[in-house]
Structure 1
Amino acid sequence: MNDFDSNSEEKLIESILIVDDQPANLRVLSKMLEGKDYKVKKASDGESAIIAAQSNPPDLILLDILMPNMDGYEVCEKLKSEEKTKDIPVIFISALSDVFDKIKAFEVGGIDYITKPFQEEEVLARITSQLTIQTQRKLLEKEQLLLKKEQENLRKEIRQRKEAEAILYQSRALISSILNASLDGIAALEAVRDPKTGKIEDFRCIVVNPVTAKIFNSQPENLTGKLLFKRFISKIKPELFPAFIRVIETGKALEQDIKYHYKNEQKWFHFIAVKLGDGFSITVRDITVRKKLELKLSKLATIDGLTGIYNRHYFDNTLIQEWQRSLRGNQPLSLILCDVDYFKPYNDIYGHPEGDKCLIKVAQIMDNIVKRSSDFLARYGGEEFAIILPNTNIKGAVNIAEKIRAEILNLKIPHQGSKVSEYITLSLGVASFKPSFESSIEMLIKLADNALYQAKNNGRNQVYFNHDE
């Protein structure tokens, strides 16, 4: 049986394809992953990796960058260009640690980057995180397919209801039985016009079913014949009034999602309003569960699972947006890159759980200091953090960096493995300039990275800055 046979009746085990031209790396990673009950398949070059991925798509690919004939970047681009493999998450593995190599890995479609030599805890944590996101994405896609089918059924119901309008008006008993049996909220409203101008002033409820009445914490008999918009609907979303008028005037259906505070709970509803005589019919469906799932998946895609601050992927997107905004406004843009000093010895002495706690505390201190809504804090990778400071010159950025450095030192987290202090410290590199068409995001990152390097090279536990006026 093939390692990636999706028709297996056995308990589902996630599959990983490892691509590396070094047999030693393949053995290390295979042993590590098989020890955690992953299905593992190996490829030693780009061509065989592409064939393996297309014949039996794995759940995730670990892809080396430096390989003969076809490097990892080219392999990733080919995989992302094919329908069958484009959605497989790719984590790059390489001894290359330069920021530009990492940026290129993300540009060709990679979702994470692991630097050799491997740290087992890091490898497993990153794989677990990406497989979780992949699983949630598949669940969302399934939910969206179901929703699409439901929407098609809903539109079909509306078409059928429009065709039956004449019958519905002649038989109130038939209307009542249909409405009461529906799981969706359904109502029909007629326009109330000014007798002199003919202008629509409100909408009167003609028919309403129990599901709709429940949304307004009422009963059908208390709503039928009443003016509804000014009493109820305006409290949910006032701008719906002119929107409903346009439905009557143009005959074009209105379809929207709306948020509603219902019985101390935030609810989401999807509705479709269709012209009905001199009024409209409306069908309402509770989509709160789907909306909550979307919000949860959105958070997973942007938040670092350990520290609770933004992740590297979201940082890259935000930096592009802030660069473009600063370029348009001719405003300075500052970037701080910082690194926990001697963090590897800290993990070796105190253990990875304590290392995680340390990173969480450092992130919390930074989050408390970076207070402006426009500022952006992210975990850049491992023990590295990054801060984007829009509309901030080098002086302001250095002040923030120095405050962070001092506050981290004041935490007095013991660190026996540090060569600069008995406590945990930070080295920070600061870069700042006004974006122009002659400059680039890469230049800003390089300035900050070089400044961080100087801060470390000069003894650590300090702030070093570069700027281009």
Structure 2
Amino acid sequence: MNSNILPDMKGNILLVDDIPENLQLLSDLLIQLGYTVRSVTSGRMALKTVRVKQPDVIFLDVKMPEMDGYQVCEALKADKTLRHIPVIFISALNDVFDKIKGFQVGGVDYITKPFQVEEVVARLENQLTIQRQKKLLEAEIIKRKEAEEILYQSRALLSSVLNSSLDGIAAMQAVREPETGIIKDFRCLIVNPILAKVFERTREEMIGKILLKKLLNRIKPELFYRFVTLVETGQSLEQDIYYPVAESYWYHFVAVKLGDGFSITIRDITSRKKTELALQEANQQLHQLANIDSLTQVANRRCFDARLHKEWESFIKQQRPLTLILFDLDSFKAYNDHYGHLAGDDCLFKVAQAVYQCTRHLDVRRPIDLVARYGGEEFVVLLVNSDIEVGIKVSQGIQQAIYHLAIPHQYSEAKDIVTVSLGIASIIPTVTLEPDYLIQLADQALYNAKQQGRDRYCIAADRESHN
């Protein structure tokens, strides 16, 4: 792998698009953020460019003359020197078929146009982070194998490298009960300064002494019995342990059978653990960016679509009902025109949070599964394994929660406060129906609620509206 991504450097990005305006737009955005960017306008030029200098990530358009993006990606993955380069498709094609094909030919992600800069950067940084962690892991594996090779050498060879090793190294011999042959402790045969320091002792205080059981009682007593099992079975032992010493907290050790005892190497992995925690936090933030609506702080459309399709597939097999409530704020355009868009944003946030909080506590046998912003002033509530009666109860609870907000709306066609119209639909999924059918039913019911005067809910199918 020729990529040399360092933690303090931005990535080297290749953009491939036959439309120069698209290239210029994305290139300018990424350059402003500190990335190194190269651009080409055809698939053939892209293949020539990557062979001259490999990028860290490729953004690849799908629809291009002569050679489309799928063919370019297939060519990259067929070349063993280039197949490691992650390819992110960025295209106006938004069908599921196009996205699936992108992943089938080897793409790692698929972004649809028009794109949001924050989404592009988040997905790009995710791939760069994966590459960095992969390189760190490869280096860690190489070092670990080197350490294990040393441990399999003779005691004489081990002694010659003890003082120069950056890892803690020791060899232990079993001390057995004369009558039963049971291991009662271990004698330290050799130990280097690094390992002696971990135990807060000198080498002289450890070599030749029977003390392992006592030392392990300070760290993790059950480790002693695992070392006994190692010696008796010959099965190596490897794990991370938490043991605060000075500024170090985490250690990784590998122990292998050596005669009637074992050899062990210990490495300080405190820095690695900190990196893992930082990566975990970054992944959580990326997940939030991808699934939470930034204005209302409830789930976004993307999160809802994914959840609906997942539950739909599951409930086809279970033959249980899915219920959907689709609602929006009455006369919201008039609200924005009169009170201003900042007030409108604040209103959307208050409504979303009120709905979210009220659905957490409604007595409907189980918590509501998902509250999401569907778009603009429109929201959805997904109820899993719930029938139409539960949908009605939840809708009534939503109406009451918004009434309690008592947000003034002088220009509403329903009341002098902010209200909502709701459409309720419930269905048992089947293989002959698509999830969008449930949305269509709820949308038609919402339309009926608006036509009948707003500030009410309507039920899909042959039911009357309710005030």
Output the TM-score relative to the length of structure 2. 0.63
Is the contact made by 1:62 and 1:93 (CA closer than 8 Å) also made in structure 2? no
> Using a 3 Å threshold, how does the CA distance of structure 1 residues 226 and 319 change in structure 2: closer, same or farther?
farther
Secondary structure of 1:163's aligned partner? coil
Is the contact made by 2:244 and 2:250 (CA closer than 8 Å) also made in structure 1? no
Distance in structure 1 (CA, Å) of the matches to 2:357 and 2:420: 16
Is 1:281 matched up with 2:264?
Answer: yes
Partner residue, 1:177: 163
Matches within 5 A, 1:49-88: 50-51=43-44, 54=47, 77-78=70-71, 81=74, 82-83=76-77, 87-88=86-87
Secondary structure of 1:227's aligned partner? helix
> Using a 3 Å threshold, how does the CA distance of structure 1 residues 150 and 104 change in structure 2: closer, same or farther?
same
Partner residue, 1:303: 288
Is 1:444 matched up with 2:435?
Answer: yes
Q: CA deviation at 1:400?
A: 3.3
**Runs (5+) with no aligned partner, structure 2:** 1-9, 103-108, 361-365, 462-467
Matches within 5 A, 1:368-387: 368-371=357-360, 375-377=369-371, 387=381
Partner residue, 2:277: 292
RMSD (Å) for aligned C-alpha atoms: 5.3
Partner residue, 2:405: 411
Q: CA deviation at 1:146?
A: 2.4
Matches within 5 A, 1:350-429: 360-371=349-360, 375-377=369-371, 387-413=381-407, 420=414, 426=420, 428-429=422-423
Counterpart residue identity of residue 258, structure 2: L
Identity of aligned residues (%): 29
Output the TM-score relative to the length of structure 1. 0.63
Is the contact made by 2:388 and 2:426 (CA closer than 8 Å) also made in structure 1? yes
Q: In the TM superposition, what whole-angstrom CA distance separates every residue of 1:367-413 from its partner, at most 9, and x where no partner exists?
A: 43454689345555666655554443333344334434543454345
Counterpart residue identity of residue 128, structure 2: K
Higher mean C-alpha deviation, range 226-235 or range 203-212: 203-212
Q: CA deviation at 1:447?
A: 0.7
Distance in structure 2 (CA, Å) of the matches to 1:253 and 1:63: 50
Counterpart residue identity of residue 283, structure 1: I
Q: CA deviation at 1:148?
A: 1.1
Matches within 5 A, 1:76-155: 77-78=70-71, 81=74, 82-83=76-77, 87-93=86-92, 103-104=96-97, 106-109=99-102, 111-113=110-112, 123=115, 126-155=116-145
Counterpart residue identity of residue 272, structure 1: V
Partner residue, 2:213: 227
Q: CA deviation at 1:156?
A: 0.4
Is the contact made by 1:451 and 1:466 (CA closer than 8 Å) also made in structure 2? yes
Distance in structure 2 (CA, Å) of the matches to 1:319 and 1:340: 23
Partner residue, 2:152: 162
Partner residue, 2:3: none
Distance in structure 1 (CA, Å) of the matches to 2:316 and 2:299: 23
Q: CA deviation at 1:145?
A: 0.6
Q: CA deviation at 1:354?
A: 5.9
> Using a 3 Å threshold, how does the CA distance of structure 1 residues 89 and 339 change in structure 2: closer, same or farther?
farther
Counterpart residue identity of residue 394, structure 1: I
**Runs (5+) with no aligned partner, structure 1:** 1-10, 21-25, 95-100, 116-122
The aligned length equals 411
Counterpart residue identity of residue 448, structure 1: I
Matches within 5 A, 1:452-467: 452-459=443-450, 462-465=456-459
> Using a 3 Å threshold, how does the CA distance of structure 1 residues 152 and 69 change in structure 2: closer, same or farther?
closer
Partner residue, 1:272: 254
Q: CA deviation at 1:362?
A: 4.6
